[in-house]
Structure 1
Amino acid sequence: MLKKTFFQMHWFLGITAGLILSLMGVTGAIYSYDQQILKLINPESYTVQAENTRKLSPAELYQHFHIHDPALKINSITVAASPTASSVVNIVKKGDKHGLNLMVNPYTAEKLPEIKGQEFFKFIKNLHRTLTVGPVGKQITGACTLILIFFALSGLYLRWPKVHTWKQWLSFKPQLQGRNFIWNLHAVAGTWVFVFYIVIASTGLTWSYSWWKNGMYTLMGVEKPLENKKNESARDPAEKHTEHGSAPTQHTQRSDHAGNAVISDSIAAKKPREDRTEKSDALSPVEIHRALNQTWLGFNAQMGREYSTLTLNLPKKDDGKVEVSFVDVIPQHERARNKAVYNYQSAHIEKMELYADKKLNEKVMSSILPVHRGSFFGPLYQFFAMLSALSMPLFFVTGWMLYLKRRKQKQLTLVAKQKGLMSEVDPDATPWLITYATQTGVSEQLAWGTASSLQEAQQSVTVKPIQKLTLSDLQKFEKVLFIASTYGTGEAPDLASSFSKNIMSQSLDLSHLKFAVLALGSMDYPETFCFFGHYLHRWLEENQATALFETIEVDNSNAKAIQLWNEKLATVSQLKLKSSNIEHTFDQWTLTQRTLLNPNSLGAPAFNLELQAQHEAQWQAGDIAIVQPGNSLERIQVFLDQHQIDADAHVDSLNQSIQHALWNKNLASDIESVTNLDLLVNQLPDLPIREYSIASIPTQQVLRLVVRQKMDNSGELGLGSGWLTHHTQLRDKIHLRIRTNPNFHLIDDNRPIICIGNGTGIAGLLSLMSARIRQGYTENWLIFGERQQAHDFFYKETIQAWQNTAMLKRCDLAFSRDQAEKIYVHHKLREQADELKSWIEQGAVIYVCGSIQGMASDVDATLIEILGADVVDQLRHDGRYRRDVY
């Protein structure tokens, strides 16, 4: 439930706050390289022609502007070490606490062209932080940044632990299509940018909320600096100098200057010194010039370090101190400034604070902007941080696409359910009741197909599963169609057992009733072929019901038999009915992995198969993969040689060679003529399909099957197992489609589940438990059996990982050949009888997957022994006892 809640919040916030975050991401990416871009487009402002004379000192620059532009109020002066880098004079600008930078020629003090693009980046910064709407926008961007942290954490939580290798976590799959491609792009890209988004959001919030900023200082163990708004204008310009000043270089600045007495005299000549009052600490221009000159000479002589830029803040008080900041030749980032205080009266450095000497936590808290934009961690990290910010619209767009596809699918499902209600009904027509007895969903599919045909013919139709059929229904309706599967070794489907036991055990008067039965089965079990359908037919006739026509048998969803059903119905009803059939179109899947699961086992080899679709594929835990097997090239060649046919002979109707046309044909069928290849191909029916429980869920990006090799009486590999485990090769195409299996679907709540199975039955149980774990439900109990633990513990690492992470609460294993007395899963179930009762009392749902002969029947008998027949019947009726057995 927690995971489901997180998912709902994740997509809802994504389609709402995603647009703002996209805007913030793009603007943040642009602003993160503002310095580099400004220097690139303003070379005439940042660089000058190097001259053979020395650069003007800060005192000389101050003297120049005091004489030629006395109205300017100077905050600080920055001189760069590089001979081609301009100097910076920061002046007071109303409304801007950082002041305004004047780029000047360091040799002549001539003002350089104004920096172009500053207003653009100011707008980008404003858009990024406040959406240009002031405090309201600041609150919106702050809230969206908090949501970004939720996105990152919830996205990781929702994805965990779907896959178990770094390659699967971090690899894009461009071969995917449709929704699977969009989800893969969304999830994998989200994993890549996770760390960047956490860092960006955590630091960005320091500008939005003071409580967050204070919390950051507390978390990092750094004392928060005292706010001094009065001195802010004097302190901040030095930061702006580093942002928009000269780039660091390998050159150094030395203190070998002359002519300063002349400068001082010129200031005095221009403007005689004004005596200061006792109440004022302000310095006269001559005193400021002297302070700058002595600081420049003394600090350069004493500091003993090279630097790329050095900034002197103009002194505001007559305390003999000047604040100095300088940047190392190769700084860690653009705001890695060293700070010092120089006492020009005593001619010594009173305080030196080197950035490199700070602890990591102090560096982080004093460099929030570089951490935010990524330059704190180096240029490579900054580049990827910029790409991560630029990718925010990707998540907004893909999130919307996934939402719209999910919404469209729900709408299509609703339309399909309501389709019958939209048909016009002939008021004089006698209503039909169609009831189906299904184990794996085929009967249900045919029931709804038949209902659709009748409804389009303006007939009133009611469709019911046989377990919900009542005596009242049999008395009310005059025409009833039964579509019934035979399961296992001749039994009724699980959900039909209550009808068989409670209704068919009675003698009724059904003389008013006309019926027809469509019986589904498999000739692989000739002794019990369509047994339940025939049993149902006999019972109806014994109770005076009248058959519309004889029971129609369907072998493995044979299309001709189903078409006969449609024709018979059309004849007796005198209605024009559309064809109702089972979909036999197969999709193209690629076999990407085949691994032997049980080397050296006493049993037949069992394989883990992984397939990937060439299309958008969806299924649920518990669904079935239907595979169209094929013939090996050797078998096809034997057939061609037997009938003296050239392998390259062309089949006109299929526009392919006869060798390719025969790949899925039953070559053991009787044929009348081989003179015409088109006729030959049409005579041969397709090979029977094979069904396998799916062992994975869609979010694992592969469709996994567990297939054990079977041998026929002649010693040849079985049709399906031979095709999948031997005849096909990796990267070959597999013809496969997915059939929904609602009777084995996972419950959608957090009730406990008990998964019982043996051998390759682990497949269906794996998909169920994978889905449960994805939902965050931990009340899971696995009872699994095989031959030897050393060789037959299928998916051991996965199961043990679930145990270690407490996602699998109980696990009981029965390896029959590891001791003298054979132990099977029903023995483990009997050993845990009290625990079983406890779980059932808590609402547990039982899932059984594996062989019906032996395991499933023994488990069923043991459940009846422990719980009682009535309880087991009620569990089956309530959907709390579900089986996928074969």
Structure 2
Amino acid sequence: MLKKIFFQIHWFLGITAGLILSIMGVTGAIYSYEQPIQKWLNPDSYYVQVENRAKLTPSQLYQYFQITDPQIKINSITIAKDPTSSSSINIVKEGARRGYNMMVNPYSAEVLPEIKGKEFFAFIQQLHRNLTVGPVGKQITGACALILILFVLSGLYLRWPKKHSLKQWFMLKPKLKGRNFLWDLHAVVGTWVVIFYLVLACTGLYWSYDWWRNGMFKVMGVERPQPEMQEGKARGQNAEGQKPEHEAQHSASNPVRTSENNPNRGESDSNQRNEKKGLSVEQINLALSQTWTGFNAQVGRDYSTLTVNLPKKPDGKIELNFVDAIPQHERARNKAIFNYKTSTIEKMELYEDQKLNEKIMSSMLPVHRGSFFGPVYQFLAMLASMVMPLFFVTGWMLYLKRRKQKKLTEQARLAATAVKIDPNAKPWLIAYATQTGTAEQLAWRTATSLQEAHQPVTVKSLQHLNLDEVKNFEQILFVVSTYGTGEAPDLASSFTKKNFSQQMDLKHLHYAVLALGSREYPETFCSFGHELDRWLNANGAQPLFGLIEVDNANNEHIQAWNSALAKVTKLELQAMNIEKTFDLWTLKQRHILNPNSLGAPAFNIELQPKHEVHWQSGDIAEIQPGNSAERITDFMRKHQIFAHTPVDSLQISIEQALWDKDLTTEVEPFANMEHLLEQLSPLPSREYSIASIPSQQILRLVVRQQENSHGQLGLGSGWLTQHTALNSEIGLRIRTNESFHLIDDNRPIICIGNGTGIAGLMSLLHARTRQNYTQNWLIFGERQREYDFFYQSTIEAWQTTGMLQRLDLAFSRDQTEKVYVHHLLREQAQMLQSWIDKDAVIYICGSINGMASDVDQALIDILGESKLDLLRQEGRYRRDVY
């Protein structure tokens, strides 16, 4: 439940705040490299031709501008050691409360071209801080920074239990497709940037909320600097006396309070105060000259730039900032006070002498943009910021795909409702009978196709269909699957029992039947569909067209249904099919469960996904098998195809092209490989009950080897148990099996099965033990306890710890008279009735021939047929049989 809540919060905030965070990320990435970009854009402003003479000193530059333009009021002068770097003079300028930086040639004092791009970066800065809408925007960006922290923590929580290997956590899987690729991209890249986003969000909130800023100073153990109230209004402080944005932290590291955009600037009103205090131009010039000479002689360390602030009052002191030759970051400034009257350095505060916590709190902007941790980290932080839109886009796509694919049947239902219906058209009823959901899906897709042609359609499960509704409709389409040994699906059995024995007048009814089945069971292929068709015919109903059979959801057969419907109705119906996308899984483990058994070998198969995957206990793993190398070789020899013959259209060899083709098909003479492949249909998939749950981080199957009449291993069992090497890739897709899903409460459950049917029951019991539900009863049968007690240690551990309240075992060959699970059921008839009275739910998994039918008869004998039908209708009798 907690995970669901986090998931809902994660995606809801993602689709609401994601766009703002994307804007903040991109603008922050651009602004973090403002200085290098501006230097690149303005080489004529930042760099000069080296001359064979010394650079002009601060006093010489000051004297030059006093002569050439005495109206200029200078705040500070910055000299760079690099002979190619220009000097900078900060001057008072109307409208620039922090002064204006003027770049000058350090050899001639010529004013260099004005820096281009300042307006652009000012816009980027405002967009990043407040979306250019002032205080309201600042509140929005602050809230989004808090949401970013929640994204990071909830994302980690949602992902943490899934995978523990570094490869799964940090490696992208480019071979994935569709939603799996989007999720992998979202999750893996998200893991890469977790640290960066936490740092960006936590430091960004420094400028958003005063309470957060105070908390950071307390957590870091640094005393927060107090604002200088006497200069508050002149410096642009806010109503609380705090400097806006990152000026507060700048003041903490630099009492001189130089420019934010250029560290080489003093107070904008210093010249005015100088004149009021009585310092003449000559005195300022002398002070600058003595300071420059004296400080360079006494500083005792190299520096890259030195900023000299013009004296504020005639006390003989000048404030200086200088940056080390190799600074930790762009704001790692050292401060000094030089007394030019005594020619001594009175005070020196070196950045490197600060403690780490003090450095962090006095350099919040470099920490935020990443330069505090070095150029490599800053570059990675910039990339992390730049990819922030990726999460917004992939999150939206995942959200949309989740809505679209949550249920294909629901998708069809929603799509159908948005169409204008022809009021003169006769209404259609589409009735479906499904066991695993395929028939229901096709029913809704048929409904969508008709409603897109403006036809009124009602879709209903056969179990909820009564005879009055059959009599009231003139057009009914039946989409029905066959289950077990040729019967109706479990939930449709009540309809057949009530109605198939009755005679009624259905002459008014026009109908068609789409029958689903598998030709691998030729005796019962589409049996229920044919039985339904015969019953309708016998009662006078008129077929719109002949029954259409569908073999293993074959798309050609489905399209034949659509085409026949379009022909008889004379409507334009959109093509429909069932898309099957198989993901790549890795075969990690395979071992035999029953060595020396009298029965065929049964294997424990363990597969690991290459992507994030979810399933529920009771779901089905659909495998795409392939042909063994021997089978492909025999086929090629039979048809005289040379090894490694290329298939030009696919740019692969014929061996690769044949791996998933049905090689039992009779083929006509072919002109080329493409012609051959056109004649070969894909191999049918194979379905297996899943024996594990997602929290076990592995998908487990129980597969028994099957052999055909020629002694060859079956297609699916051979592929999984022998032909595929360990650590090879397997094509697999999870198919939901709602009719066998575990109940979500603590009612008792009775699990009955035999042989490889233990797989589906194990997934149910694993899920129940995770929920600490102990009212579990397992009845399991196989041949010999010594060899065929699958997962014995796990089952006995459950029994010992009380997670399995009852365990009854039937090993048929361990005694003279064979004992099967239905015998145990009859022996425990009173106990069974007691559990049913406590609202127990029965789950049956295993072979339909023998076990399932015998258990079904035993339940009828114990509970009564009407009671068993009621259990079916209430979802308390669930089967996964084959």
Question: What is the TM-score normalised by the length of structure 1?
Answer: 0.69
- Is the partner of 1:309 in helix, strand or coil? strand
1:451-496 deviation line (CA, Å, top 9, x unaligned): 8999999999865434334576688789998776554467764434
- Is the partner of 2:85 in helix, strand or coil? coil
**Cα distance change, pair 862–126 in 1 and its aligned pair in 2 (3 A):** farther
**Cα distance change, pair 151–630 in 1 and its aligned pair in 2 (3 A):** closer
**Cα distance change, pair 872–361 in 1 and its aligned pair in 2 (3 A):** farther
- Counterpart position of 2:248: none
CA contact (8 A) 1:665 1:684 kept: yes
What is the distance in 2 between the residues matched to 1:459 and 1:122? 59
CA contact (8 A) 1:313 1:324 kept: yes
Please say if 1:326 is aligned against 2:322: yes
- Counterpart position of 2:130: 130
Please say if 1:413 is aligned against 2:409: no
Q: Alpha-carbon deviation of 1:30? A: 2.1
- Is the partner of 1:308 in helix, strand or coil? strand
Which has the larger displacement, 452-461 or 130-139?
Answer: 452-461
- Counterpart position of 1:439: 435
**Cα distance change, pair 382–633 in 1 and its aligned pair in 2 (3 A):** closer
What is the distance in 2 between the residues matched to 1:392 and 1:872? 56
**5 Å matches for 1:735-814?**
741-744=737-740
- Is the partner of 2:319 in helix, strand or coil? strand
- Counterpart position of 2:93: 93
1:342-387 deviation line (CA, Å, top 9, x unaligned): 4556655444322222222221111111112111111111112222
- Counterpart position of 2:33: 33
- Counterpart position of 2:589: 596
**Cα distance change, pair 120–742 in 1 and its aligned pair in 2 (3 A):** same
- Is the partner of 1:213 in helix, strand or coil? helix
Q: Alpha-carbon deviation of 1:627? A: 5.4
What is the distance in 2 between the residues matched to 1:557 and 1:480? 23
CA contact (8 A) 1:566 1:579 kept: no
- Counterpart position of 1:336: 332
**5 Å matches for 1:270-285?**
283-285=279-281
Please say if 1:117 is aligned against 2:129: no
**Cα distance change, pair 837–222 in 1 and its aligned pair in 2 (3 A):** farther
What is the distance in 2 between the residues matched to 1:519 and 1:43? 77
What letter is aligned with 2:589? L
Please say if 1:146 is aligned against 2:139: no
What is the distance in 2 between the residues matched to 1:106 and 1:790? 91
- Is the partner of 2:713 in helix, strand or coil? coil
- Is the partner of 1:597 in helix, strand or coil? strand
What letter is aligned with 1:606? N
Which has the larger displacement, 109-118 or 630-639?
Answer: 630-639
Q: Alpha-carbon deviation of 1:222? A: 1.8
**Cα distance change, pair 45–868 in 1 and its aligned pair in 2 (3 A):** farther
- Counterpart position of 1:468: 464
- Is the partner of 2:145 in helix, strand or coil? helix
**5 Å matches for 1:161-180?**
161-180=161-180
Q: Alpha-carbon deviation of 1:332? A: 0.5
What is the distance in 2 between the residues matched to 1:528 and 1:794? 35
What is the distance in 1 between the residues matched to 2:555 and 2:47? 86
- Is the partner of 1:595 in helix, strand or coil? strand
What is the distance in 2 between the residues matched to 1:449 and 1:115? 63
What is the distance in 1 between the residues matched to 2:361 and 2:634? 79
Please say if 1:606 is aligned against 2:604: yes
Please say if 1:884 is aligned against 2:880: yes
1:508-555 deviation line (CA, Å, top 9, x unaligned): 8644468999887668778988887899999999xx977989x99979
What is the distance in 2 between the residues matched to 1:789 and 1:61? 97
What letter is aligned with 2:376? L
What letter is aligned with 1:220? M
What letter is aligned with 2:334? N
What is the distance in 1 between the residues matched to 2:52 and 2:343? 30
CA contact (8 A) 1:666 1:686 kept: no
Which has the larger displacement, 335-344 or 492-501?
Answer: 492-501
CA contact (8 A) 2:550 2:557 kept: no
- Is the partner of 1:598 in helix, strand or coil? strand
What letter is aligned with 2:588? T
What is the distance in 1 between the residues matched to 2:521 and 2:394? 49
**Cα distance change, pair 98–790 in 1 and its aligned pair in 2 (3 A):** farther
Structure 1, unpaired ranges of 5+: 247-270, 804-808
Q: Alpha-carbon deviation of 1:203? A: 1.9
**5 Å matches for 1:350-749?**
350-403=346-399, 405=401, 413-414=412-413, 417-418=416-417, 422=421, 436-444=432-440, 463-470=459-466, 487-488=483-484, 493-496=489-492, 503=498, 510-512=503-505, 589=582, 593-598=586-591, 602=595, 604-609=602-607, 624=620, 632=628, 634-635=630-631, 646-647=640-641, 664-665=661-662, 667=664, 690-693=686-689, 707-712=703-708, 715-727=711-723, 741-744=737-740
**Cα distance change, pair 484–104 in 1 and its aligned pair in 2 (3 A):** closer
What letter is aligned with 1:194? V
What is the distance in 1 between the residues matched to 2:372 and 2:866? 70
1:136-162 deviation line (CA, Å, top 9, x unaligned): 433343334334334444444444444
- Counterpart position of 1:102: 102
1:50-108 deviation line (CA, Å, top 9, x unaligned): 55655444445444444554433333333333344333332333443432223344455
Please say if 1:77 is aligned against 2:73: no
Greater relative CO (CA pairs within 8 A, separation 6+):
1
**5 Å matches for 1:10-49?**
10-49=10-49
Which has the larger displacement, 214-223 or 8-17?
Answer: 8-17
CA contact (8 A) 1:238 1:311 kept: no
Q: Alpha-carbon deviation of 1:225? A: 0.8
What is the distance in 1 between the residues matched to 2:87 and 2:861? 93
Q: Alpha-carbon deviation of 1:36? A: 1.4
What is the distance in 2 between the residues matched to 1:121 and 1:640? 68
What letter is aligned with 2:391? F
1:100-141 deviation line (CA, Å, top 9, x unaligned): 223344455454443333333233323332333433433343
What is the distance in 2 between the residues matched to 1:309 and 1:454? 77
What letter is aligned with 1:598? H
What is the distance in 2 between the residues matched to 1:792 and 1:873? 32
Q: Alpha-carbon deviation of 1:230? A: 4.6
CA contact (8 A) 1:788 1:817 kept: no
**Cα distance change, pair 119–520 in 1 and its aligned pair in 2 (3 A):** closer
What is the distance in 1 between the residues matched to 2:848 and 2:603? 20
What letter is aligned with 1:365? M
What is the distance in 1 between the residues matched to 2:313 and 2:364? 30
Q: Alpha-carbon deviation of 1:425? A: 7.0
Taking only aligned residues, the RMSD between alpha carbons, in angstroms, comes to 6.7
What is the distance in 1 between the residues matched to 2:555 and 2:65? 100
What letter is aligned with 2:302? E
What is the distance in 2 between the residues matched to 1:136 and 1:446? 51
1:3-49 deviation line (CA, Å, top 9, x unaligned): 55554554454445444433333332222112112223333433445
What is the distance in 1 between the residues matched to 2:556 and 2:67? 107
What is the distance in 1 between the residues matched to 2:856 and 2:488? 14
CA contact (8 A) 2:555 2:578 kept: no
CA contact (8 A) 2:632 2:655 kept: no
